[in-house]
Structure 1
Amino acid sequence: MTPRLTVRDMCGAAVYAVRMSWAADRRGVLTVVGLQLANAFGLASALLLLRGLLDDVLTLADSDDAGGDLWRLGSGVMVLVALGAAGGILQTLGGMRQQILTDRVDRYVISLVLHTASHTELWEFEDPDFHDRLQRAVHASRHKPATVVVMLVAMLQVALTVLVVVGVFITIAWWLLPLATLTAWPLFKAAKDRRTALYAMHHGLAENRRRRQYLERLLTCRDEAKEIRALNLGATLHNRWDSEYAQELNGMARLIRTHAGREIRAKFLSSALIAAVIVSVWASVNVGMVSLAAASTGLAGLWLLSSRMGMASQMFNDAGESLYFLKDLHNFAGAAVEPLPGPAEPVLPFRALQARDLTFTYPGADRPTLHGIDISLHQGEIIALVGANGSGKTTLAKLLAGLYAPTEGTVIRDDCSVTDLHQLRHGCAVVFQDFVRYKLTVHDNIAFGRVDEPHHHSRIRGAAESAGVATLLESLPNGYRTLLGREFTDGTDLSGGQWQKLAIARAFYRDAPFVILDEPTAALDPQAEADLFVRIRHLFAGRTVLLISHRFSSVRSADRIYVLDSGRIIEHGTHAQLMRARGRYADLFLTQAAGYLDTTPA
């Protein structure tokens, strides 16, 4: 259901836009306002001067001092021309300064959206509604705040011009003022209806646009390109993108057809009201109620009033549409969590990390992923999690790393319940199975392990050596300054196994007391895998390691092994204990071993 905005909401959104513009570029806001005000006063002066010139023209023939009157008339015309030229210059300068203001406000607002998204808790990314709100906020961040500010300033100029014209009408025939003011009402009403309908359409297109962006990414990104071509998916994905886009275009076409007739009727009605004002003015001239000069000035003012009010209705439509979207931006930014705390105390090791009766349900899911988990990890231990795909291993690791808050239960660190997830994150290094391949320098890829501390090349090289990748990195064209990613100039790429070693080096650089390795050798060759696990106890000496792996040869040396099934721990113990128990672990181990030995398990 599309939310409706009240006048109070729109005023609040306008104030929000002004505040953001002020924060982004104070001098730019003051300059734009000053130029618009100067232009408005110039127009008012020109209108008043025009009335004086018309009086001079009409009285010139009857004057005894024709030379003086001609000089005064010529001087007035020159001043009028000068005012017109000055107005053109101010308009040019204002347009240039508005573009600079727009760019700076865009940067500020997009930065605000990115900041909010980067500090949003991980569980929210599991919620489709969050992605819709993010999409609407991103849409609102594109030129909307700057558009509102520029339009508000321009509408101030219109308001000043209208006040001047109103003053002229009061001196001519005050009773015509209400009729002249009503000439813009049909335009405002039609613009408001179209604006409301346009926002309703865009509000419902958030998920459509997300699907389109995903399809665009599939069709244009390097990592996906090989499979798209291997499966010949290009035309299929392009057709789906085109179909999604057609929904928006068809909706826009229906909206335009619906409201075009209304706006045409509004313009006819507005023109009819203007014609009524003109007839009334000339009737007043014929009966001698007003002078010809005053009537001519009034009609010039009426033309100016009509054009300005029409402009104001369009501005109000554009600004009003932006105000609708700014409400989405305001709501999204206001829902942000507090930023992560900066580097404070050094990361200290713990004696024990325990989970007690942990239960977790993903947003929107109708049943928990984890049920009543109890697990204990002690300093210096290697603990393994095994189980079938979807058994909850990675979800449990995310809870222990402080990336999710449990739905029920608690995490205990050295006999103290953990209420601050940032504390867990600060003391944890994670190598995910689907780790990020940062298309930045090698140095960044490792140093990102601990960005809140000064970077030391000796530590970066030491982390690379621990991960067994230092020799490779030093052989790259620019060593640790080599840019990774062939889509960038002078960039190079790594193999899957080399990328995985780089992710492991990042974990070493983080130097945390708790290390989570989620399938850390999935892309490594057998020899590299064997080398890593032979050295893992030495490399992570004094730390607690949580190892998730499908390769039972890798986990058999763990101090304890926990077996998960459908979100529950069904067994735990050492490899020898679990094999003697002949339970689920023994079945999985023997089945995998049979594949290597080409025998059937007993």
Structure 2
Amino acid sequence: MTADAVVPAQGGRAAAPPPPPPADFTFQGHFGKNPLGGVSFRALCARLPSVLGGTARMAWRTDRAAVALLLACQVLTGLASGVQLTATARAMRPLVGTAPVADRLHAALPALVVVAAAAAAVRAASALAAYADGRITPKLTTQADVALVEAVCRVEAGAWSEDGFSDRHEAAEVGVVRTQMMVQDARTFTAALIRMAAAAGVLTVLKPLLLPLLLLAVLPAGLGAVLTARVDYATHYANVGDRNVRGMMRWWSTEPRYGDEVRANGMTGYLVYWYTALSERIDRRTLATAPRKLRIDFVTSLLGGFFLVCTWATLGWLAVTGRVELALVATAVVAVQTVLAALSQVVVSAAALFHSSLYLADMRSFLDLAAARAPVRGILTVDGPVEEIRLEDVVFRYPGKTGPAVDGLSLTLRRGEIVAIVGENGSGKSTLSRLITGIYLADAGRVTWNGVDLAAADPGSVWPRCGLVPQIFAQWPLRARENVTLGQPRTHDDAPVWEAVEAVGMRDTLDGLPLGLDTLLARELWGGSELSGGQWQRLACSRALYRKPDLLILDEPTSQMDPRGEHRIFEGLKAIAGDRITLVVTHQLENTRVADRIIVMDGGRITEQGTFAELVAGDGLFAELLALSKDR
């Protein structure tokens, strides 16, 4: 699809300009430099033992019995391969002799039986090794995936505003995918290495000269594979930013809840064009590496082929000149083929292992970063009930921003009080709520709960005392019950759930669902049901009420509700306000009548505060905004 096809000219009017192409999305900041860009080939190869060791340690922690079985199978495969070659050499002597065929077969039969038994042992060991791999890999992949999800969920909220954090998360996702291949690559590599060692031992006994020639025949392929992996990784690194944004855009474009906006606003054509354009840009970077990889493959294959010809020529020369007897020549052919196949497998597996290790390194690096950015604030605990929350000269600035979102703010909140926070967009209202809950930590000043500084408090003693209804709330694809309890039930029965649901006027709605509280709230799922926007917002309020928190924060809690639902929410707030500190962030200034005190923010500072009546009479920003809201 071309850009011109998206917005055609209509009637006699001039054609509209074509849709804009995607912006440039690059791996930003000091993370934007490919860590392998200046690393030598020798240093790259030196990574392999640590990669193998790291894989073994991860697998050992996952399933020790399976790892032990896998190692035993690898050793058995090597021993059986050595026995197979040795028995082949014994069988060849009578088989190439001058005795009658029956006598030769009879003489070679014991050795041939050993060959067959060894081959059977190799196959059995391979099957058992695959079984062990099948036990380890799913667990290992799940562990990596869960570790990444947990790290992202636990990281400080402010980390997402830091330069390059999101792109590093995207790179780590690729590491999770590559985890599936690591054990198989390691298994193939070690098995081939053991087989190669066994076959090389036999070949060395037969004719030592052949082994270095075989090594020279295979090593160029290893060099080419590692260099190609390096090129692939550089391309992957260049595409991280684009892939990150493309993944987000794919989700937004295909998510059913945004389908009305996409269709009614005629965005389908542009979204398809945008997605195609970005995908083609990623493809161009990938395809641009093809000539370079072709040159690498061509040169290394030429070198490998040359030394392989030398190997076979040497073997032929040894046979023709009588330096090796005919029986040993036949065995040497088998040994050469075995060593060559094992060497090739070692090289291919080592390159694959190395390749995967690059992405696993990204994953481990991100996990380390996330661990460093997880909330580790102190060991102090906040005991309930929370009687007072104080903010003292608090300053907070988002990473990369020049000015503070909250600047020198001081405020005291007391139990039993409803406080409304109002102000124009960007005045710092939502940032203030995050500072009060400890989601963000102040850059200067301090926030205390009952005198305990949140910077020195264990978040595990703070957040269970919070109930937050954010402006953008989640519509979890869970059962209705879990959408209220958030997976943290207080009792074994549903009485508290129905109490919270009743308080927001959702009893009849949930009662009417096909399975009541057991109904999945996602129409995309089989048997699932959907709620309207206002019903979802009521349910989000019920979550906070169910928690019975010491601090209740509602950020635009009724923006999608009808007047009846809005009235019920605020009446419910007044009924329960005596047991907690209640904070309401709103643009609906008439709703602030319910508040004991109103805080007006502008530019990250408190410019006014007082009751509704006092602020209306004060002729300040509140009175101005209230007048504007009525002038319609």
**Residues 481 and 340 (structure 1), Cα distance of their counterparts in 2 relative to 1, 3 Å cut:** farther
Distance in 2, matches of 1:329 and 1:266, equals: 31
Instruction: Write the deviation string for residues 430-464 of structure 1: whole angstroms up to 9, x where unpaired.
Output: 1112111112111111111x717445411111111
1:219 to 253, 256, 280: 253
Distance in 2, matches of 1:128 and 1:395, equals: 19
Question: Which residue pairs with 1:42 in the alignment?
Answer: 80
- 2:185 is the alignment partner of 1:165: no
**Residues 489 and 186 (structure 1), Cα distance of their counterparts in 2 relative to 1, 3 Å cut:** same
Counterparts of 1:168-187 in structure 2, within 5 Å, are 168-187=202-221
Matched to 2:437, the amino acid is A
1:440 to 478, 482, 495: 478
- 3-state SS of paired residue (1:541): helix
Question: Which residue pairs with 1:390 in the alignment?
Answer: 426
Alpha-carbon contact 2:393-2:446 (below 8 Å) kept? yes
Question: Which residue pairs with 2:306 in the alignment?
Answer: 272
**Residues 165 and 489 (structure 1), Cα distance of their counterparts in 2 relative to 1, 3 Å cut:** closer
C-alpha displacement at 1:121, in angstroms? Answer: 1.4
TM-score after normalising by structure 2: 0.87
- 3-state SS of paired residue (1:335): helix
Q: Which moved more, 1:192-201 or 1:290-299?
A: 290-299
**Residues 390 and 141 (structure 1), Cα distance of their counterparts in 2 relative to 1, 3 Å cut:** same
Question: Which residue pairs with 1:312 in the alignment?
Answer: 346
Alpha-carbon contact 1:119-1:340 (below 8 Å) kept? no
Question: Which residue pairs with 1:534 in the alignment?
Answer: 571
Question: Which residue pairs with 1:487 in the alignment?
Answer: 524
- 3-state SS of paired residue (1:520): coil
Question: Which residue pairs with 1:369 in the alignment?
Answer: 405
The alignment's C-alpha RMSD in Å is 2.4
What is the aligned-residue identity percentage? 25
Instruction: Write the deviation string for residues 497-529 of structure 1: whole angstroms up to 9, x where unpaired.
Output: 111111111111111111101111111112321
C-alpha displacement at 1:187, in angstroms? Answer: 0.9
Alpha-carbon contact 2:217-2:305 (below 8 Å) kept? yes
Matched to 1:189, the amino acid is L
C-alpha displacement at 1:417, in angstroms? Answer: 2.3
Q: How many residues are matched?
A: 588
Instruction: Write the deviation string for residues 253-292 of structure 1: whole angstroms up to 9, x where unpaired.
Output: 2223211232122122112112212222332333333222
- 3-state SS of paired residue (1:194): helix
- 2:392 is the alignment partner of 1:356: yes
Instruction: Write the deviation string for residues 93-121 of structure 1: whole angstroms up to 9, x where unpaired.
Output: 54454344322322221111111111111
- 3-state SS of paired residue (1:349): coil
Alpha-carbon contact 2:505-2:568 (below 8 Å) kept? no
- 3-state SS of paired residue (2:631): helix
Question: Which residue pairs with 2:111 in the alignment?
Answer: 76
Distance in 1, matches of 2:362 and 2:569, equals: 49
Question: Which residue pairs with 1:576 in the alignment?
Answer: 613
Distance in 2, matches of 1:335 and 1:93, equals: 38
C-alpha displacement at 1:412, in angstroms? Answer: 1.8
Distance in 1, matches of 2:462 and 2:123, equals: 62
Alpha-carbon contact 1:403-1:421 (below 8 Å) kept? no
- 3-state SS of paired residue (1:540): helix
Alpha-carbon contact 1:370-1:568 (below 8 Å) kept? yes
- 3-state SS of paired residue (2:207): helix
- 3-state SS of paired residue (1:375): strand
Alpha-carbon contact 1:405-1:421 (below 8 Å) kept? no
Instruction: Write the deviation string for residues 52-89 of structure 1: whole angstroms up to 9, x where unpaired.
Output: 1111123343x9xx866532213433443343344344
**Residues 9 and 70 (structure 1), Cα distance of their counterparts in 2 relative to 1, 3 Å cut:** closer
TM-score after normalising by structure 1: 0.92
- 2:549 is the alignment partner of 1:512: yes
Distance in 2, matches of 1:177 and 1:245, equals: 47
Gaps in structure 1 of 5+ consecutive residues: 596-602
Counterparts of 1:28-427 in structure 2, within 5 Å, are 28-61=66-99, 69-127=104-162, 129-142=164-177, 144-337=178-371, 348-418=384-454, 419-420=456-457, 422=459, 423-427=461-465
C-alpha displacement at 1:382, in angstroms? Answer: 0.8
Alpha-carbon contact 1:347-1:513 (below 8 Å) kept? no
Matched to 2:395, the amino acid is T
Alpha-carbon contact 1:517-1:547 (below 8 Å) kept? yes
**Residues 172 and 81 (structure 1), Cα distance of their counterparts in 2 relative to 1, 3 Å cut:** closer
Distance in 2, matches of 1:591 and 1:184, equals: 79
Distance in 2, matches of 1:568 and 1:71, equals: 100
Gaps in structure 2 of 5+ consecutive residues: 1-32
- 2:515 is the alignment partner of 1:478: yes
Distance in 2, matches of 1:140 and 1:225, equals: 32
